[in-house]
Amino acid sequence: MESRNNKLTYSLIVIVSLLTVAPVIMLIIGSFSNNLHTFGNFTLNKYVSVYTDPMLFSILGNTAFFVLGAAAFATILALFLAYLNNRTDIPFKFLFKVLSVMPMMIPHVLFGVSWALLLNPSNGILNMWLVKLLNLSKAPFNIYTIWGMIVVEGLLDLPVAYLIISPAMGSFDASLEESSRVFKSGPIKTLFKITLPILRPAILASFILCIVRGLASFSVPSVLGMPGRIYVLSTYIYRVVTMSLIADYGKAAAIGMSILLISVGLIYIYRYYTRYSDKFVTVSSRGFKPTVIELRKAKAPLFIVLLIISFVLILLPVLVLLYTSLIPYIMVPGKQAFASMSLQNWRTVIKDPLSLRSLKNSLFLGVGGATVGSFLSVLVAYVIVKVKTKASGFLESISFLSFSFPGIVIGIGFMWYFVRTPLYATIWALFFSYLATYLPYGIRPMTSAFIQIHGSLEESSLVSGASFGTTMRRIVIPLLVPGIVSSWVLLATMFFRELSVSVVLSRPGTEVLAVQILRFSEDGQWGRLSALGIIMIVISTVMVLGVNAIGNRYKPGEVREKRRPKTIATNRLD
Amino acid sequence: MEIKIRGLKKHYFSEGKIIKALDKVDLDIEANKIFTLLGPSGCGKTTLLRCIVGLETPDEGEIQIGDTIVWSKEKAIYVPTEKRQLGMVFQTYAIWPHMDVFNNVAYPLQNMKMPKKEIAKRVAKTLKFVQLEGFEKRPSTRLSGGQQQRVALARALVAEPKVILFDEPLSNLDAKLREETRKELKMFLGELGITAVYVTHDRVEALALSDTIGVMNAGNIVEIGSPKKIYFDADHQFVADFIGRANLVPATVVSQGADSTIVDTSMGQITCYKRSFNREDELVLCLRPEFIAFDKTEKEYVNQIPGTIGQMTFVGEVYETEVLVGKQIIMTKLDPETKYKVGD
């Protein structure tokens, strides 16, 4: 068993290294080179020019403020929602499930754009309406500010934070809280003294993950930050490679190095704080239901807050885009707007060869990439969870390597890498760099799925004479279906709307949807943008719902959870 | 099939310390008997079992099952678990939640590529044997603890292995069910007459089920013997203490009788079962509380010792009673309806 596992471990190390380590090495070498064609001629020029630029400090300040603000906002909101869902008798709990998956279907760039359409200072729909309504002299809100960026990015990170915190809150052994209640602590005191400290690993994980995502975020800073000339590191790199006469990939790599170091540092801190997370394993194998707290008077106001969040996250962006796609130019909804509505924007988009090609490419990358990616994730997660050797630890660190750096930085690394291979400017360049960048998102759900499969389930298969392959096929994979589904859905939706790697690597012929959206937004083609955006949202939604439906059919986990209490009841009868 | 283990070593490194799970273990397990590995938690008994089945790789030594060497460091032999043709019942039962009872039990046969008809026949036969007839279509998530245990047993037996291994299979059941299942298990194993290796930390289980018990401590097998030998006649103080409640009293051999050994203790002279010791040997005498009787009258008995009742604790079937004999406290058991009271 060990030799076979070792073989698997080492071949995965090679594959994953090619995906994740190679671009990093190329990025490092690139940062010491002058530009793509002078690769390898050692020079410090790029570092000197980047780090002596006085502008860098304001960019770093913006970045820190933006990233920390958004992470804090998302985590606190997620805690609030997770608590409401898991611990209280708030009505319409299905809203939480919708909340947690919905933003996967709305691409970030579109979410950002919809807010720009609502709240931009010159012709934001909501702004114009408020000016008219209240007779103001100028627009009351300006989304093109750092606060605007924080709120929008925070809302976008909310589902991620929620998905980390909510399961922890839900699978939390209620007796820990009950014993605190027995010792005369009220619900609020229990929340702060017991619940939150025990959830600390989840909260910390969520906060740091949000920071890392914020650092990597390109959509919000490009759509909301650049028009107001608020640059963060990711948009700064973008400016260096696209908005100057000669794309300076050396300088981009040198900036990228600083993001890389910050991210690696953060991940190190994250690991340090969660190293004893075993201590906090409170998921018991028995079925139980945590005590539900009655909200009484607070029920109605809290429910309204929930409705507002749901509206803002789910309905509003779609409505704004749908509306904008039907009108010739931006105006406040009213008689004039409805009179001028037409399908003109839709017709233009459907006939636009660029939009069509980007749709085709993104579909291929989403479906194909997610399939290959979740297959790779199953194997890597298996080795990480079940094979505990030094080599598997190494595999874990290189698999999660890309987790710590932003797509645009990996994109620059891949640029240096692919330019030397025939993959350059092909769809496969995007394919492999997507895999590398988002591999951790595929592996994460798989590792938690693997952890839930008790080792003896596999061992008993081996003892029963099943080979490793049979054990995987008949025992492990079927039990992993929920994990595979979430990993596939996560990867597919991420690939389908990928922006930050693509803005660097996409070339004529390999256009993808999100880049096309960004182009429309830069050109102020709001109508076409919205039409294409709606198409994108519909396809993502169909993809997510379809795969979830397939997964539900083969989901042993559901059966297990639902039937557990019955098992216990019969136990007692015995 | 018999199992031979030679010089088996397995060390773990944990937090800078070496944990000797197996410290050069030599062991012969007789064919077609029930052998129990008994010991406190962490003594290495489960590690030994997992080495036999191949789920863990030892550092050194050799394991032979029947005529086949399944693992040897020197000869560089490693037979993977799935080729060892053993049966095993796991502590957690490891019933696959996504399969029904039939598929759980049929799994080992399916791996042998047996024809479907034959599989159905053998599964039905095995389920009948473990008294789960007609449970084939039941989802395995809808089984009680005792039923899960029997499905696990059926799965371990269905391929008719020559050796079956048990890793604390009763520890997840509640006390009452555990007792019943233990009796069933004894019956099943008695009928089968195959080699069984059973790991437990429960001394009652070990005594009730085994033909032979191997008591383990700190990575070593301390003593091997029949349940009676281990209970009445243990060579080691650790074993005597572990297998049941015991009063351990320092003693010196005074003389050897025809079928008895007479020792001197702080409580006076005591006549014991014959054991070959030399005069003046210093040893530890083990008095089982169950075998100490009380009498207030003036009658004469062998091994009669005067004492005072110090403390009585009612635990249901008996009073656990401490008797003061001089400075020595002796644990005894008294009938719950006893007329004796503290101070007698």
Evaluate if residue B338 carries a pLDDT over 80. no
The pLDDT assigned to A69 comes to: 95
Count other C-beta atoms under 10 Å from residue B228's C-beta. 10
A456-466 pLDDT, tens per residue?
888 888 888 88
Which residues lie below 8 Å from residue A308, measured CB to CB, with a gap of 6+? none
A480: chain B residues, CB-CB within 8 Å: none
Mutating which of A463, A484, A567 best tests the B interface, going by the most B Cβ atoms within 10 A? A463
ipTM for the whole predicted complex goes beyond 0.90: no
Contact B87 A459 (CB under 8 A): no
A117-154 pLDDT, tens per residue?
888 888 888 888 888 888 888 888 888 999 999 999 99
The pLDDT assigned to A176 comes to: 67
Quote the minimal CA–CA distance from B314 to chain A in Å. 27
B101 touches chain A (CB under 8 A): no
Mean pLDDT of A357-383: 91
Which residues lie below 8 Å from residue A131, measured CB to CB, with a gap of 6+? A137, A138, A139, A140
Question: Are A248 and A31 contacting, i.e. CB atoms less than 8 angstroms apart?
Answer: no
CA distance B227 to B212: 6
Of the listed ranges A358-372, B133-147, B301-315, the least confidently predicted one is B301-315
The pLDDT assigned to A274 comes to: 62
The pLDDT assigned to B343 comes to: 65
Which residues lie below 8 Å from residue A297, measured CB to CB, with a gap of 6+? none
Residue A40's pLDDT band, with cuts at 50, 70 and 90, is low
Question: Are A156 and A108 contacting, i.e. CB atoms less than 8 angstroms apart?
Answer: yes
Instruction: Identify the three-state secondary structure at position B331.
Output: strand
Evaluate if residue A389 carries a pLDDT over 50. yes
Evaluate if residue B26 carries a pLDDT over 50. yes
Mean pLDDT of A180-205: 75
Question: For residues A491 and B269, which has the higher predicted lDDT (pLDDT)?
Answer: A491
A565 touches chain B (CB under 8 A): no
Quote the minimal CA–CA distance from B235 to chain A in Å. 36
- Per-residue tokens: B229: 């030998």
Residue A382 class from Cβ within 10 Å (0-12 exposed, 13-18 middle, 19+ buried)?
buried
**Chain B residue with Cα closest to A565:** B142
Question: For residues B60 and B329, which has the higher predicted lDDT (pLDDT)?
Answer: B60
pTM: 0.71
Of the listed ranges B11-25, B84-98, B157-171, the least confidently predicted one is B11-25
A7: chain B residues, CB-CB within 8 Å: none
Mean pLDDT of A400-425: 82
Question: For residues A95 and A517, which has the higher predicted lDDT (pLDDT)?
Answer: A517
Residue B287's pLDDT band, with cuts at 50, 70 and 90, is confident
A223-246 pLDDT, tens per residue?
999 888 899 988 998 888 887 767
Mean pLDDT of B18-23: 81
**Chain A residue with Cα closest to B159:** A464
B86 touches chain A (CB under 8 A): yes
Residue A557's pLDDT band, with cuts at 50, 70 and 90, is very low
The pLDDT assigned to A531 comes to: 92
Residue A172's pLDDT band, with cuts at 50, 70 and 90, is low
Long-range contacts, A541-549 (Cβ 8 Å, 24+): A541/A105, A543/A366, A543/A367, A543/A489, A543/A492, A543/A493, A543/A496, A544/A101, A544/A104, A544/A105, A544/A489, A544/A492, A544/A493, A547/A485, A547/A488, A547/A489, A547/A492, A548/A485, A548/A489
Of the listed ranges A120-124, A290-294, A391-395, the least confidently predicted one is A290-294
The pLDDT assigned to A174 comes to: 65
The pLDDT assigned to A371 comes to: 93
Percent of chain B with pLDDT over 70: 94
| β-sheet bridge partners, residue B251 | B265, B283
A566: chain B residues, CB-CB within 8 Å: 142
Contact A464 B159 (CB under 8 A): yes
Mean pLDDT estimate for chain A: 81
Alpha helices in A387-426, H assignment, sequence order: 390-399, 407-418
- A294 — phi, psi (to 5°)? -80, 130
Residue A171's pLDDT band, with cuts at 50, 70 and 90, is low
